[in-house]
Amino acid sequence: MPPPIRLAAGLLLVYPALILVVNVRAAVLGRTPHYLLEGLLLALFLIAVGVYLWRGRRWAYAAALVCSAALAAILVLYEAVVWRLAGDEMWEGWTRAEQVLHFVPVAALLAAFALLVREPDFGAARRRTLGVWAAAFAVELVLMALIARFGVGSPFGGNPWFQDVLSFSQVPGEMILTQMGMCCGYANHTIISDWFTPHWGGITRDGIPVLVTANALGLVPLFSLIRAALARRSRARGAAPAVAA
């Protein structure tokens, strides 16, 4: 593999490595072993992507390209929400070293994306991947516009069917945010709150950009499967006339 790809693979591993280190530290200091499971699925997935990217797998390139950009965007947008809500109080009790370390994952993810997006050996994969991500993002914007119009209703049921559908449509993003420690309820009410409204449910309007970005990332696997199925169907149709001839 070209050195930039291997460097990008190493940079991609920074975020999951920090997740695991923080979890182990919390579990040891707090004597709470369940902290070892926080964000574990996301960490293991990113580790697998990094390892297979090092080996030059095209699926890993596509996953790394989208994840590096989307996760960096989520982290930055989340910091913006916290800053808007808490201001300078967000840094109370933090040392300078802790503040710098806090932004290391963002820097590593952005650097990995910059290396991946410029790699000439994966031009076709890059176009396909960014196209799928753009489609997922466009659909998520439509879904959020529908939520703004019709709402998601109460999380306790009794809603019209379309509100339940709209609420369910945001589950992929909620799952990603949960793995990143940004969701939900009392544990972290910045994006999905433990306070509910009849229209927005638990979605906080300050956190909508974060939820939109996370859910677009969560929709990418589904859109990739749909694209692959359509491509296979198109190839099968094109092959049929050739066989007949």
pTM of the model: 0.91
- List the domain range (segments joined by +) for residue 174: 3-244
- What is the predicted pLDDT for the residue at 161? 95
Question: Which tens digit of pLDDT belongs to each residue from 107-164?
Answer: 999 999 999 999 888 888 899 999 999 999 999 999 999 999 999 998 888 899 999 9
Check: CB of residue 188 under 8 Å from CB of residue 182: yes
Question: Which tens digit of pLDDT belongs to each residue from 23-81?
Answer: 998 889 888 888 888 999 999 999 999 999 999 899 999 999 999 999 999 999 999 99
Radius of gyration for the alpha carbons in the chain, expressed in angstroms and rounded = 20
Average pLDDT, the chain: 90
Q: Give the pLDDT band of residue 105 (cuts 50, 70, 90).
A: very high
In this predicted structure, the answer to whether residue 243 has a pLDDT above a threshold of 60 is no
Check: CB of residue 33 under 8 Å from CB of residue 67: no
- What is the predicted pLDDT for the residue at 95? 86
Q: Give the pLDDT band of residue 19 (cuts 50, 70, 90).
A: very high
Domain count for the chain: 1
- What is the predicted pLDDT for the residue at 34? 83
